[in-house]
Amino acid sequence: MSHWIDHQQSSERKFFGGILQGRQVVFEAACHHIEVDPPAVQLTEGSDQLGNIDMKKIVVICKGGFGKEMLEYLSDTFSADSGYESERIQDLFPDDELIVKPDEVFVVANGDSAVKARLVKKIEQAGGQLLSVIHPTCYVAKTATIGSGVIMCPFAFVAPGAVLAPHVTMNVHCACGHNARIGSYSVLSPYACVAGAAELGEGVFLGSYAFVAPEKRVGNHSKLSVGAIAHKDVPENALAVGNPARIIANYYS
């Protein structure tokens, strides 16, 4: 758990809108509508003597639809004086050589949990840093815990006591109920909902409008198809469909 950013002990709600290592960017959220202050890039490093800040260049990985949406979200989230600007959008394949420039930070805009995990690891191995993106229209409760590299798209909701592990993706209008826990690299597609005290393991995929009932658990690397309603626990590596969700495949059998 040491790699999780845990502010549950803190009386202030804090989010990391920038890089979680190196130059840290911390901003606070308003109660019902997050006001994303320009991330406070420190002037001690990467600045000239006049205090002009070297801009960090945001590289969006994956040129698909989600990547194009991400460019919009970035322009909403990082203002011109934030110290961050979108540089380019590009694909990245396993055999590609990745050379990271010192002023680059990365956002992986891919809706497949397994692909995203591979790309994040490749970027980290090349020395790259992943940016957290929390769109200003999101609601995040002050006792929620948000891991590094998390992406929260417009109107996503995180309730009190919920925990998002690193590199979770919450697409538009997703909800994460009170005390729910979402494992790293999990992806919630638009309008997916994880109810109170429910739990997703690592690398779980929820299709659009999928729902996990209160206190139920979805095992590592399982997928709920679009509209699936999980009233019971879902084991690891399963594909569950329908309402009530039934398991129709195991990805490793």
Ligand X SMILES: CC(C)(COP(=O)(O)OP(=O)(O)OC[C@H]1O[C@@H](n2cnc3c(N)ncnc32)[C@H](O)[C@@H]1OP(=O)(O)O)[C@@H](O)C(=O)NCCC(=O)NCCS
Binding site for ligand X (CB under 6 A): 111, 171, 189-190, 207-208, 223, 225-226, 239, 241-242, 248-249
Q: Please give the distance of CA 96 from its chain centroid, rounded to a whole number.
A: 24
The CA–CA distances, whole Å, from 117 to 82, 121, 199 equal 27, 6, 19
Q: Are 15 and 132 in contact (CB under 8 A)?
A: yes
**Cα three-residue angle 140-134-157, rounded to 5 degrees:** 35
| Smallest distance, ligand X to C-beta of residue 152, A | 15
**CB closer to ligand X out of 98 and 115:** 115
| Residue 10 neighbours by CB under 8 Å, 6+ apart | none
Pairing of strands 246-250, 238-241: antiparallel
| Smallest distance, ligand X to C-beta of residue 86, A | 21
Residue 74 phi/psi, 5° resolution? -65, -40
| Smallest distance, ligand X to C-beta of residue 65, A | 8
**CB closer to ligand X out of 38 and 227:** 227
| Smallest distance, ligand X to C-beta of residue 206, A | 8
**CB closer to ligand X out of 111 and 147:** 111
Residue 56 has a CB neighbour count (10 Å cut-off) of 26
| Smallest distance, ligand X to C-beta of residue 210, A | 8
Residue 49 has a CB neighbour count (10 Å cut-off) of 6
| Smallest distance, ligand X to C-beta of residue 224, A | 7
**CB closer to ligand X out of 171 and 186:** 171
The CA–CA distances, whole Å, from 201 to 23, 88, 143, 242 equal 30, 32, 21, 20
**CB closer to ligand X out of 242 and 244:** 242
| Residue 45 neighbours by CB under 8 Å, 6+ apart | 23
| Smallest distance, ligand X to C-beta of residue 197, A | 24
**CB closer to ligand X out of 7 and 167:** 167
**CB closer to ligand X out of 132 and 189:** 189
Q: d(Cα 170, Cα 186) in Å, to the nearest integer?
A: 8
